Amino acid sequence: MIKINIEEIKEIKETLLNLKTIILEKSRSAEQTIFDNKGLMEYLKISATKAQKLRNEGKLAYSKESRTGKIWYRLSDVLTYLDSCYYGRF
């Protein structure tokens, strides 16, 4: 006979919810995946200054909330920027 206590059930439930979240995030399209400025910096491994430079130079599309000034990037725009930096083999 298998005995499971309530704490183990809660732990299993929490693990399943975490897995569900990960799966849903992975299944989003590039248009639906959004980064804030910090997320972009982590994804591209760049500084805040470099992110601002890319915005100022028009190299990376972004959205800006007028009230808070919060900046958002679509993964599809980030991938477009990365494609523009791509150099094929010679």
Sheet holding 63-64, edge to edge: 34-36, 71-74, 63-64
Residues of the domain holding 56: 6-84
Distances (CA, A) of 36 to 19, 21, 53: 23, 18, 16
User: Is residue 38 in some structural domain?
Assistant: yes
Contact 78, 35 (CB under 8 A): yes
User: Is residue 89 in some structural domain?
Assistant: no
| Number of separate domains in the chain | 1
Q: Work out the average pLDDT over 12-23.
A: 85
Band (52; pLDDT cuts 50, 70, 90): very high
Q: Full-prediction pTM beyond 0.75? A: no
**25-34, 42-51, 75-84: least confident range:** 25-34
- Per-residue model confidence as pLDDT tens digits over 55-76: 999 999 999 999 999 999 999 9
